[in-house]
């Protein structure tokens, strides 16, 4: 892993897009055409978190989004979408700011705690979180 990263760094760093994920599970250049929240949720999130947001248990545990108190923290939601988690892929390199905002707003609208569903995440908030993650990843680089 470390060697792979090092090699990637040496060979491909100048050519990598701004958001170089430390562990890409989806190849660069791969993306989504969908632009609306419902379409993005259905295309990406529903496969693991289920269309009704109740999550699933199988080879891995896919946490429920419906009624999930952690959705009260908008930055947490944006970070999960952009950077992924332990068994959740990162989508930062395959979605632009508008798409991330649209799917995040859809998740809040459908599954967020009461009150939170009225929140409208802006592209600026997404861009700010994206920049923060890039900064962290840069400072973690070997
Ligand atoms: C390939 C399966 C997969 C896909 C696709 C996926 N997730 Fe996840 N998601 C997970 C897993 C597994 C976790 C638990 C991650 C962990 O433990 O770090 C998770 C965690 C989360 C969490 C944190 C939940 C908590 O209780 O901490 C949020 C929020 C989330 N996902 C939102 C989304 C959204 C929004 C999408 C669509 C853009 C999405 N996920 C797509 C598998 C997936």
User: pLDDT by residue (tens digit) across 80-119?
Assistant: 999 999 999 999 999 999 999 999 999 999 999 887 777 8
Phi and psi, residue 107, nearest 5° = -60, -45
For residue 127, the CA-to-ligand 1 centroid distance in Å is 20
- The neighbour count for residue 104, using CB atoms within 10 Å, is 27
User: pLDDT by residue (tens digit) across 28-77?
Assistant: 567 899 999 999 999 999 999 999 999 999 878 999 999 999 999 999 99
Q: Per-domain residue ranges for the chain? A: 31-140
Which range among 2-6, 11-15, 61-65 shows the weakest confidence by mean pLDDT?
A: 11-15
Q: Which of 48, 53, 111 to mutate to test the pocket of ligand 1 (most atoms within 8 A of CB)?
A: 48
Tell me the pLDDT band of 127, cut-offs 50, 70 and 90: very high
Q: Which residue stretches of the chain are H helix?
A: 2-12, 37-40, 46-49, 74-83, 97-111, 123-140
Contact in structure between 121 and 78 (CB atoms under 8 Å): yes
Name the CATH code of domain 31-140 (choices 1.10.760.10, 1.10.3720.10, 3.90.380.10, 3.20.20.70): 1.10.760.10
Q: Nearest residue CA, atom 15 of ligand 1?
A: 85
Q: Which of 70, 88, 116, 121 to mutate to test the pocket of ligand 1 (most atoms within 8 A of CB)?
A: 88
């Amino acid at each position: 892993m470390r060697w792979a990263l090092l090699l990637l760094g040496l060979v491909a760093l100048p050519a990598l897009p701004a958001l170089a994920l430390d562990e890409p599970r989806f190849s660069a250049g791969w993306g989504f055409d969908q632009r609306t929240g419902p379409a993005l949720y259905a295309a990406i999130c529903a496969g693991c978190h289920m269309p009704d947001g109740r999550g699933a248990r199988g080879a891995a545990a896919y946490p429920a989004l419906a009624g999930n108190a952690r959705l009260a923290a908008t930055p947490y939601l944006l970070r999960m979408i952009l950077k992924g988690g332990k068994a959740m892929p990162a989508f930062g390199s395959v979605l632009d700011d508008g798409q991330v905002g649209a799917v995040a707003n859809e998740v809040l609208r459908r599954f967020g705690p009461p009150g939170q569903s009225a929140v409208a995440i802006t592209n600026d908030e997404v861009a700010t979180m994206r920049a923060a993650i890039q900064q962290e990843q840069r400072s973690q680089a070997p």
